[in-house]
A and B are shown apart, each in its own frame.
Chain A
Amino acid sequence: MFGEFNIPINIDKDSLNISIKKNDKGFDYIRELPNDKIEKLILTENAKILINPVEPLNTPKELTSLLLIEFNKSISIQPGIRKTIFITFPIEIGIFLSKKKDFELFDVFSLSKQKFTLYGDPGVGVVCKYWKSDVFLTLPDINPLYEGFIELKIYNPGTSWINVHKALFKAEGMKIFFDDQNVCMKAKMKVTDDDTAETEFIDSPYEKDMKKAVDIFNAKKLSVSTSKTIMLEGI
């Protein structure tokens, strides 16, 4: 269901219904989820909408730019090796309205479970969006309306075994790609010692035919500082 569409349009998929109907002056926009319904009026003669997966940090409220993914089982990594695993991440869906050659965010919502957590202790920690993921060694089977996958390359350059339980990512660096079947990102994690690591997204698709999603932080005209995230409060 991701892509560019002409309006009016009606999309009914899983528990999501998006309806844009013509009225006298423009269009009525109705978006329905099981526990959420919003209605808006679009005053235009002619426009296009873009439906894209976006960074999972906008709903229910934009409190943080960090996403913490906790693994359902810990990963022990031998010193000096690189391994690739797959984990999932929650999807948020952005509805964009066309603006000349550009698109502007109009609505954002999520069908995934929403939860926040604290990374670190209450004195010095940071609030993060929380997601618990299985760890896969092959490409996971996902529903792209709910979740995407991250191909995560973990590197342990040290001299001792390291256990990793979670990964922290910064929204500014998220590079989401999608096709009809999948939503994905690529990232790498360099473990620097027992308790610290560095994560970073890679700006490349998992498969070359995948399209790049609109970067919502750029769409909101927010400045991007750095794409690297340093995990200092445990891994």
Chain B
Amino acid sequence: MPVSAQVAPPLLEVDGLHVHFVTSRGVVRAVEDISYKVGAGEVVAIVGESGCGKSVSALAVMRLVAQPAGRIVGGRILFEGRDLLTVSEDAMREVRGRDISMIFQEPMTSLNPVLPIGLQIMEPLVIHLGMDEKAARARAEELMGLVGIPDGTRRLDQYPHQFSGGMRQRVMIAIGLACNPKLIIADEPTTALDVTIQAQILHLMKDLSQRLGIAMVIITHNLGIVARYADRVNVMYAARMVEQGTAAEVFREPKHPYTIGLLRSVPRLDRPRGQMLETIEGLPPNLLDPPEGCRFHPRCALAIDACRADVPPLVAAAPDHLSACIRTSEVGRLARPAEAIRAEAATRASDASPGPLLEVRGLAKHFAAGRAAGSWRSDHAEIRAVQDVSFTVAAGETLGLVGESGCGKTTVGRVILRLEDATKGQILFEGADVTNARSGDLKALRRRVQVIFQDPYSSLNPRMTIGQILSEPLTVYGLARSRTAAGERVAEILTQVGLFPYMAQRYPHELSGGQRQRVGIARALAMQPRFIVCDEPVSALDVSIQAQIINLLEELQRSLGLAYLFIAHDLAVVRHISKRVAVMYLGRVMEMAGRDELYANPRHPYTQALLEAVPVPDPVAEGRRAHKVLAGEVPSPLNPPSGCVFRTRCPKATEDCKVVVPELREVDAGHHAACIHL
């Protein structure tokens, strides 16, 4: 036991917590026997994939598990020595917001849309501290300053929809801080935010927690965030705790096969790029009917018969480091990185084709600004979503298009797909101008150019079976002469994407997120395209599933010679899959270069800031990095800054940057950047 733990009891001690959800299909054991401690002023992370029970275990601390289905059926939650599960509802209400605050994932929906921000911040002050209106308002103004919202006094009277996502999350933090709590529970606080904003928010939280001595529980799936900010880590899998320890320990030498797998399946910016990602095969279990013994054994490469028998207890694997695996002592020896995969180094299909497959020249897309409700003439305002974008993609190659939300990357994809018409510029596919292709030409183009969408949940029609979804394009384009032929082809593509032919009978809701995304890929493949626009294809998926999908995309590229335009906000994923990368900001390309060159030697200040903002899953490396946080937010594309669009946030900006629109020019061989200071 560490010395500190002997001196004072922990601030929060969760002991043997069990939470059940009663559903019509049975009892879901969402949290089973979870124990962890949080010391005063400590930052503790709870990590796991979606559905592992990490959020529920945190909500249970606040006794806010969704009623009436959710029930806390066992365990103790000791806060300053008092068991919160036994106090009255009213006493619990007094703890909430006063001693323990919570910050939620979705800043867009977590604030009440019809109440002013000021009221929402002042509420806990009035309720818990009995402040009068005037004192509460003064404190609210102070809090707005503390969380870095400029012009806080005026903005207190505004409503949530008048704030950006990042600013709303700051408001949530202000609410959380209002009564000087001892503990803040942050449930995926930055998952919905862009990388640079994520860095700002996390930095703010860490800084405030240090300055004010507030302990924090961060619930996240992002291992980089854990490495950068947490003191201690708790890893959950399928409702159980599988590993616990200090962040340094766990990242240096993970002991549980699941943690090891998790760490290996994330593409990383701080390591050389491997040929293929290692994945954890299979899916997390259904908690209605979890496997016997160790929950992880069906997916574990090291599983032995004994793993199926009993639930492994958390045992000390090293000082202050617990792991729930019966082979803990052998794991280090057994779980070597699979050299075979790395050595596979199959030559990528980089057949030198004569011309580019796709060429985009000076592309621009402007949207008429949505008229404000009630205004009756259009204000002729334009959103310049994309401006002067040019690039090429060769056959069999992947171009990564990366940037924060609103940078226009998705619009570029949609214009290439001809789902939107270009305002200016040209799109050439296989040498032919398809910018304005109509009817027959467009139909022909659709066969060659396909798309994979981000959200596997909403992009498949819930009333159609997988078979119907996949055979529809075959019939529409006359690729299958008969129903039997279509059925055979569907079976073939399903196998190709790692699903089973019998799944053609299923409906989308019967499949998991990863499986649905495979169906999305299969739907694109049905047309036998040469080029696929992948619009954030893995961002809605869990880490272990994400790796499987990325590997699948790479495999298909090798075997079918596909070219991808890979649109994503995750810099590590883009690096992993792309041959060349273009970085966009506010509608323009800031930098474009070969993957290794761009990541090793970023030239544009924006690219540098982006790479800086991404936390890497290694506390040691994180400790060495100077965290320069990019200030400010992305300006509105309705009214972009003059000259260089990045100048308002750029550390190198000068007066000249206001005047000159920097051209994308070659700064090194094959390395283009748009900055006048290079």
Whether both chains belong to one complex is answered with no
Which B residues are within 8 Å of any A CB, using their own CB?
A: none
A residues whose Cβ falls under 8 Å from a Cβ of B: none
